[in-house]
Amino acid sequence: MNDYRSKRPRIDILEELRQQGRFYEFFFIAWGIVEMRADECILKAYGLSSQDPKSDPLLELNVDRKLKILRDLDVLPADAYEVVNQFKKKRNHLVHRGALFIHGLSEPEKEEIMDIGMHAADAMHELARTSVR
């Protein structure tokens, strides 16, 4: 996936953090983008505002469930779902083991995670841009 960086449509905070070697910040911001865009897109799919109390059950779902709903509604393409799911698995492996296990990663492992994270964030940005309004 290393050639993906050269195909990005824009340089943003993720690219800057990556260039500066700030893996921790990159990791958490990329995941924040995935979560934020999942919320935004699921609300769009159901025609709800975050201010509407009817949106609460959707917003309370975990990210995995939101992504599956978006996929099942044919809002989230299969390739985007797959890359976001890869990033989610990497994230969960590092975060949900009782402590954060990032400090023991090698540089190639960090690069792989950043490639996937960047691709996942871009996929969610694109979904938000193109999903039904």
How many secondary structure helices (H) and strands (E) does the chain include? 6, 0
pLDDT score at 131: 75
pLDDT over threshold 80, residue 101: no
Share of residues in the chain with pLDDT > 90 (%):
70
Higher-confidence residue of 11 and 85: namely: 85
Q: What is the mean pLDDT of the chain?
A: 87
How much is the pTM? 0.85
Q: Quote the CA–CA distance of 130 and 133 in Å, as a whole number.
A: 8
User: Quick check: 8 pLDDT over 80?
Assistant: no
Per cent of the chain over pLDDT 70 is 84
